[in-house]
Amino acid sequence: MKKTYQLQVICTVTGYSENGGFSGDRLDISETIRVHANDFLELCQTLGRFHELAEKMKEEEKHREGTTG
């Protein structure tokens, strides 16, 4: 039988100025969902999807920087 876990993801976006200082822009969002998994390891695989998304976003940013700069 699958277990129920609560998964909370918190994301903070902070803006920086051209000189590298904090620009004052900030956005905080969070989502909480219930996830059903056979065990904690299976739940961790779900978290791995967030890591994969972050890596994809990094690659896309590198590509944008390479084509605009």
56 lies in some domain: yes
Number of domains in the chain: 1
pLDDT value at 53 more than 80: yes
36 lies in some domain: yes
DSSP class of residue 18?
T
Residues 57 and 63 sit within 8 Å (Cβ to Cβ): no
34 lies in some domain: yes
For the record, the structure tokens of 29 come out as 């969002």
Find all residues with CB under 8 Å of 11, minimum gap 6, and list them: 28, 29, 30
Q: How confident is the model at residue 55 (pLDDT cuts 50, 70, 90)?
A: very high
Domain encompassing residue 30: 3-64
69 lies in some domain: no
pLDDT value at 69 more than 70: no
